Amino acid sequence: AQSVSQHNHHVILSEAASLELGCNYSYGGTVNLFWYVQYPGQHLQLLLKYFSGDPLVKGIKGFEAEFIKSKFSFNLRKPSVQWSDTAEYFCAVSSGYSTLTFGKGTMLLVSP
């Protein structure tokens, strides 16, 4: 069975600081990796995804993530966060046609 581990439950940053949220997964086969974001009071939205090819994927709003197969990691990054990035971020994994398995989420608070 696949599982996802997110390193930090809460992260607090000032505006313009750089962001890196850790995500590790456990599964021995080919995986599909996702980052979802949930803004306060809103539904889960897809931020970016990796299926194959270039391990550095770019998503919406300046986010990017790097798939490192040897480390079973898919960390989310943004060079300069904004107050509007305050949200909860979920890493998720699927394999083939299996369902999405989510991590516990990281709550990001950006102070202006």
Partner 1 sequence: EAGVAQSPRYKIIEKRQSVAFWCNPISGHATLYWYQQILGQGPKLLIQFQNNGVVDDSQLPKDRFSAERLKGVDSTLKIQPAKLEDSAVYLCASTGIRDRDRNYGYTFGSGTRLTVV
Shortest CB 45 distance to partner 1, Å: 8
87-94 and 23-26 beta bridge pairing: unpaired
Shortest CB 106 distance to partner 1, Å: 10
Name which of 36 and 74 has its Cβ closer to partner 1.
36
Name which of 10 and 79 has its Cβ closer to partner 1.
10
Give residues in contact with partner 1 (CB under 8 A).
Answer: 4, 9, 34, 36, 42-46, 49, 51, 90, 92, 97, 99-105
Name which of 9 and 69 has its Cβ closer to partner 1.
9
Cα–Cα separations (whole angstroms), residue 31 to 9, 14, 39, 84, 86: 24, 33, 26, 30, 28
Task: Please provide residue 61's backbone torsions phi and psi, each rounded to the nearest 5 degrees.
Answer: 60, 30
Shortest CB 42 distance to partner 1, Å: 7
Q: Which residue in 52, 50, 79 sits closest to 63, CA to CA?
A: 79
How far is the C-alpha of 110 from the C-alpha of 112, rounded, in Å? 7
Q: Kindly state the helix (H) or strand (E) to which residue 21 belongs, with its residue range.
A: strand 19-21
Shortest CB 111 distance to partner 1, Å: 22
Name which of 26 and 80 has its Cβ closer to partner 1.
26
